[in-house]
Amino acid sequence: MLKGKKIILGISGGIAAYKAAILIRLFKKAGAEVKVVVTSNALEFITRVTLESLSENKVYDKVFGEQNDYTTEHVALTDWGDAFVVAPATANIIGKLASGIADDALSTSLLAFNKKVFIAPAMNCKMWEHFAVQKNVDHLTANGIHIIEPTEGFLACGYEGRGRMEEPERIFNAVKESFHSKQSTLKGKNVLITAGPTREAIDPVRYIGNHSSGKMGYALAEELADRGARVHLVSGPVNLTVVHKNIALTKVTSADEMLEACKKHFDDCDAAIMAAAVADYRPDAFATKKIKKGGSAKDLKLHLVPTPDILAHLGKQKENRVLVGFALETDNETDNAIKKLTSKNLDFIVLNSLSEQGAGFGHNTNKITIINNKQEVSRYHLKDKREVAADIADTLEKYLNR
Ligand code: C5P
């Protein structure tokens, strides 16, 4: 899959830079070509000789320099690469990329690169958790940059927590997987996907909602679109953007609107994947004016009525379409997921648990179990949501190609 692919490896100044050497070896062994761009700090942690020997190419560390063939080398380099991997990525390089700053060879090359970018952060846990870093990571994710989440463990600074760079093998696999998805195995298929939360209005100001970020549904849409499927994505309110020639996006707010959008596109689809966290209840009446506090009654009681169950509705008209649901459970996970699978007439259900570290709402990673209608159970380990999307897509392909 990686044979002949051209990988630009960016290394910034963190202790995990030594692991970049292993990453180069993995890419080279898989038949890829590697060119390395470093920050000047990175060269404090790993030598130019090591990187040049392993990559069999010169290392770039200056925008202007004698080593460069000509001064727009960063553009020539980025035209050359098929994928750009930054490992380790410090808070500094993440911040620069998120804000469009180009003041050295690595940040300049990153800004000149418009193909797939993988960022493997590595830093102290307090830095990783800092709102500024988290905001930058969210901004990058929302713009299609692939974040390979750091893991928990012993950090070089003596702390224990999240901030260790993901292992080189896992970074390598994420990059490899992204090339796999380029094959048009789903060409000619139409897939309907729902994503994100719904909001059920109480009055013009307030609503009932949930913590769904939409990341899983959007990752799925991109994965299937990369495999050649035409995707219709029906999304609740999220902070994500999607730009893909195979994805048509309909934005909705409430469960009722989501149902209407799904009904419109269900007839034409070969498969439907409901990844949205649809609110189960909505206020029975919408107050046209903002509800004031301090009225005659002390307490405010909301009377809630059920929203339409979109998936159950589609399940009744399924015919030979493949129907996939999601289940987020906090207890009796497998039993509850199987109940949903049966009652909603699904082909398979993707179960994710809130009790797993790094899984569920808002995270860039997820840990899933897939249960099919023969009640066969496949468990997967914690992965980046894009890799999880690839696992789900692999399962879907089996059903679509039956
Ligand atoms: O809410 P519940 O756990 O039943 O969700 C299971 C599945 O049903 C999910 O795939 C979700 O997107 C879908 N669902 C739906 N409409 C609802 C509630 C859930 O499509 N009103």
Q: What is the per-residue pLDDT for 396? A: 97
Q: Ligand 1 within 6 A of 278 CB? A: yes
Cβ-based neighbours of 34, under 8 Å, separated by 6 or more: 7, 8, 9, 24, 27, 28, 54, 55, 56, 57
DSSP 165: P
Domain stop point among 153, 178, 203: 178
Say if residues 217 and 262 touch (Cβ distance below 8 Å): no
Say if residues 322 and 400 touch (Cβ distance below 8 Å): yes
Q: What percent of the chain has pLDDT over 70?
A: 95
Q: What is the per-residue pLDDT for 241? A: 79
Q: Which domain holds residue 394?
A: 190-400
Cβ-based neighbours of 369, under 8 Å, separated by 6 or more: 333, 334, 337, 350, 351, 352, 377, 378, 379, 380
Strands (E) located in 75-224: 83-89, 116-121, 146-147, 151-154, 160-164, 190-195, 200-201, 207-208
Ligand 1 atom with minimal separation from the 280 CA: 21
Alpha-carbon distance of 254 to 279, in angstroms, equals 8
Say if residue 153's pLDDT is above 70: yes
Q: Specify the DSSP element, H or E, that contains 251.
A: strand 247-251
Instruction: Considering the candidates 125, 157, 262, 269, report the single residue annotated as catalytic.
Output: 157
Q: Ligand 1 within 6 A of 356 CB? A: no
- Same domain? 341 vs 243: yes
Say if residue 183's pLDDT is above 80: no
Say if residue 24's pLDDT is above 80: yes
1, 44, 81, 82, 232 from 89: Cα distances, Å: 25, 15, 18, 19, 34
- Same domain? 200 vs 280: yes
- Same domain? 203 vs 310: yes
Mutation to probe ligand 1, out of 216, 310, 316 (largest number of atoms < 8 A from CB): 310
Domain stop point among 126, 153, 178: 178
Alpha-carbon distance of 218 to 144, in angstroms, equals 10
- Same domain? 165 vs 230: no
Q: Ligand 1 within 6 A of 276 CB? A: yes
More confident call, 355 vs 307: 307
Say if residue 17's pLDDT is above 70: yes
Task: Output the residue whose Cα is nearest ligand 1's atom 17.
Answer: 309
CA of 310 to the centre of ligand 1 (A): 7
Ligand 1 atom with minimal separation from the 329 CA: 3
Q: Is the pTM of this model over 0.85?
A: no
- Same domain? 294 vs 391: yes
Would 331 be classed as within a structural domain?
yes
pLDDT class for 71, splitting at 50, 70, 90? Answer: low
Give SS3 for 21.
Answer: helix
CA of 107 to the centre of ligand 1 (A): 42
Give SS3 for 153.
Answer: strand
- Same domain? 154 vs 295: no
Q: Ligand 1 within 6 A of 310 CB? A: yes
Q: What is the per-residue pLDDT for 120? A: 97
Q: Ligand 1 within 6 A of 309 CB? A: yes
The owner of tokens 């940040």 is 107
Q: What percent of the chain has pLDDT over 90?
A: 75
- Same domain? 147 vs 103: yes
Query: Dihedral angle at the C-alpha atoms of 384, 364, 400, 346, nearest 10 degrees?
Result: 120
Would 1 be classed as within a structural domain?
no
Ligand 1 atom with minimal separation from the 307 CA: 21
- Same domain? 174 vs 205: no
pLDDT class for 156, splitting at 50, 70, 90? Answer: confident
CA of 278 to the centre of ligand 1 (A): 6
Q: For position 44, which CATH number holds? A: 3.40.50.1950
pLDDT tens-place string over residues 326-350? 998 888 889 999 999 999 999 999 9
Residue 22 CB burial class (10 angstroms; 0-12, 13-18, ≥19): middle
Q: What is the per-residue pLDDT for 292? A: 87
Alpha-carbon distance of 167 to 12, in angstroms, equals 16
Would 183 be classed as within a structural domain?
no
Say if residue 31's pLDDT is above 70: yes
Domain stop point among 134, 151, 178: 178
- Cα torsion angle, 10, 98, 115, 73, sign: negative
Q: What is the per-residue pLDDT for 321? A: 97
- Same domain? 283 vs 374: yes
- Same domain? 54 vs 115: yes
Alpha-carbon distance of 92 to 299, in angstroms, equals 49
Q: For position 342, which CATH number holds? A: 3.40.50.10300
Ligand 1 atom with minimal separation from the 324 CA: 10
Q: What is the per-residue pLDDT for 190? A: 98
Say if residue 318's pLDDT is above 90: yes
pLDDT tens-place string over residues 259-296? 999 999 999 999 999 999 999 999 999 999 999 887 66
Task: Output the residue whose Cα is nearest ligand 1's atom 9.
Answer: 326
Would 96 be classed as within a structural domain?
yes
Would 185 be classed as within a structural domain?
no
pLDDT class for 389, splitting at 50, 70, 90? Answer: very high
Say if residue 95's pLDDT is above 60: yes
Would 184 be classed as within a structural domain?
no
Would 67 be classed as within a structural domain?
yes
Would 350 be classed as within a structural domain?
yes
Residue 259 CB burial class (10 angstroms; 0-12, 13-18, ≥19): buried
Nearest to 107 by CA among 39, 49, 153, 166: 39
- Same domain? 219 vs 364: yes
Helix locations, 188-343, DSSP H: 215-226, 255-266, 310-316, 333-343
What's the structural domain count of the chain? 2
- The overall average pLDDT reported for the chain is 92
Structure tokens at 123: 């830093």
Alpha-carbon distance of 111 to 272, in angstroms, equals 36
Say if residue 111's pLDDT is above 60: yes
Average pLDDT rounded to a whole number, residues 114-128: 95
Q: What is the per-residue pLDDT for 365? A: 82
Say if residue 312's pLDDT is above 80: yes
CA of 229 to the centre of ligand 1 (A): 23
- Same domain? 238 vs 146: no
Backbone angles phi, psi at 99, to 5 degrees: -105, 0
